[in-house]
Amino acid sequence: MAKNITPKENNFSQWYLDVIRAAEMADYAPVRGCMVVRPTGYAIWEHIQSVFDRAFKETGHVNAYFPLLIPNSFLEKEAKHVEGFAPECAVVTHAGGAELEEPYVVRPTSETVIGHMYSQWVHSWRDLPILINQWCSVMRWEKRPRLFLRTSEFLWQEGHTAHATREEAVEETMKMLEVYKNIMQNELALPVLYGEKSMNERFPGADNTYSCEAMMGDKRALQAGTSHFLGQNFAKAFEIDFQDKDGGTSYAWTTSWGVSTRLIGAIIMTHADNDGMVIPPRIAPVKAAIIPLSTNEAKLSDELEPMASDTARKLNAMLGAPETVVDKRYHERPADRFFHHLQRGVPIRIEIGERELAEGVVTLVRRDTAAKEKVSLDALTERARDVLADMQTSLYEKARAFRDSNTHDVSNMEEMKELFGKEGRGGFARAYFSGSDEDEGEIKYVTGGATIRCLPLDDDSTGKCVYTGKEGARRAIFAKAY
């Protein structure tokens, strides 16, 4: 069955699609560029969603919902916003058998409609801050779709906040970037670099954009999440003004931030192997699969199944959730049952056969290393907890070591071109940069697509610009990206 997956070292793009297919995570929809998220994939998204949603609420945010359709005139109110999103918009021109007086845009993002609503709700400084998050889907017409990474419709969350002062809005922007970074690293086992985007890479209409950037298994970068300081741009466009504490009139300061089902693609390209999915235990919807094994039906029903069910109950009590399954697909060969859970990335597999039954033990198999061990029933709960914790840490450390070993210091353009050339090593280039937007565009051209992924916030060193040679340049991370 492993032959169904192309080895990643032979063709990374095909391997990625094969893993998704083998794990039954998603499929292509009949609408161009769209995908159907199958139960296996959606269960992972639900776990990711729950982790982020809890963190949002812990930081004072509440959930709401805004319309799918946005008046076309709303997008046109913020010049940079419409310029950035117009080519990706799907537009509704007819409804109820008649042409609409004004077309509607299927939301590519919701700053405009939320800005309109905030203008209705904000009258005084006492109405601020507004801290709202929305879980929904958005539509951005994608020319080169790829499951989970770039599809015309995708699931995400978008936070939108409004504040009385610039300082509060900046604090919010950085706070949510920190929330993203912590969850990606601690829960998804994704080591990320975090920092400020260059002018060329900013969100349309933002004063500043900050992002978390991860390295995938083919050494390309993936923008895993973004947090935008919008300044007063949308507040002025949509008249979100209020009476301040001094009795004057001020415009609100706003932010927006979001992550999407792209994170599932990041998990696949970071952790999966040539057998299929590998899911970090903390966001795995099924953490353990128990497989009773016997050709004796009476043995199965009278002894092995009750033992498996009791074991599942104890593991679920330890996990605090029903995240252990008992595999009763006895019509399939044992090898096929094993591989079913392996391809879906279940962190641990527990085998209980007649021999294990007689000895009072189980065979525990760890997904990431394939290591097998005999564990007594009395020690299983504690051992399973330890294995899950160690697997979570090991996946993160392995991904971080891969990123660090493929991050290279670059001091001039010849080194930059060599790194990203056809025969180059690829990865992340760590270089100083203080050039113009046009200079950044030239670097992208001569390297075949390398762009500034971020200006790291945890690196305040300065040096000679890789392009202009000027001193005092900031550190930047360059990479080819999805």
Containing structural domain, residue 181: 12-271
Based on the fold, state whether residues 337 and 199 are members of the same structural domain: no
Strand pairing partners for 7?
Answer: none
Of 320, 355, 387, which marks where a domain is finished?
387
Based on the fold, state whether residues 93 and 229 are members of the same structural domain: yes
> Does residue 393 fall inside a structural domain?
no
> Does residue 402 fall inside a structural domain?
no
> Does residue 400 fall inside a structural domain?
no
Based on the fold, state whether residues 186 and 237 are members of the same structural domain: yes
Contacts of 245 (CB under 8 A, 6+ apart): 125
Helices (H), 108-258: 111-121, 166-186, 233-237
Based on the fold, state whether residues 119 and 241 are members of the same structural domain: yes
Of 225, 245, 271, which marks where a domain is finished?
271
> Does residue 55 fall inside a structural domain?
yes
Task: State the pLDDT at residue 83.
Answer: 81
Based on the fold, state whether residues 213 and 333 are members of the same structural domain: no
What is the enclosing helix (H) or strand (E) of 228?
strand 221-231
CATH of the domain at 438: 3.30.110.30
> Does residue 338 fall inside a structural domain?
yes
Of 219, 246, 271, which marks where a domain is finished?
271
pLDDT in tens, 342-374: 999 999 999 999 999 999 999 999 999 999 999
Based on the fold, state whether residues 440 and 374 are members of the same structural domain: no
Q: What does DSSP say about strands 26-28 and 35-37: parallel, antiparallel, or unpaired?
A: antiparallel
Based on the fold, state whether residues 164 and 305 are members of the same structural domain: no
CATH of the domain at 314: 3.40.50.800
- Two structure tokens written together for 100: 């609409």
CATH of the domain at 217: 3.30.930.10
Q: Are 244 and 163 in contact (CB under 8 A)?
A: no
> Does residue 141 fall inside a structural domain?
yes
Based on the fold, state whether residues 362 and 452 are members of the same structural domain: no
Q: Are 417 and 229 in contact (CB under 8 A)?
A: no
Please give the Cα distance from 229 to 132 (Å, whole number).
15
Based on the fold, state whether residues 192 and 70 are members of the same structural domain: yes
Task: State the pLDDT at residue 143.
Answer: 86
Based on the fold, state whether residues 160 and 249 are members of the same structural domain: yes
CB count within 10 Å of CB 445 equals 10
Based on the fold, state whether residues 120 and 265 are members of the same structural domain: yes
DSSP secondary structure letters along 406-468:
TEEE--SHHHHHHHHSTTS--SEEEEEE---HHHHHHHHHHHTS-EEEEEETT---EE--TTT
> Does residue 281 fall inside a structural domain?
no
Based on the fold, state whether residues 440 and 341 are members of the same structural domain: no
> Does residue 346 fall inside a structural domain?
yes
Task: State the pLDDT at residue 3.
Answer: 60
**Number of domains forming the structure of the chain:** 3
Which residue stretches of the chain have pLDDT < 70? 1-3, 79
Report the amino acid identity of residue 450: A
Q: In terms of pTM, does the model score above 0.85?
A: yes
Longest dimension (CA), the chain: 83
- Before 129, cis peptide (omega within 30)? yes
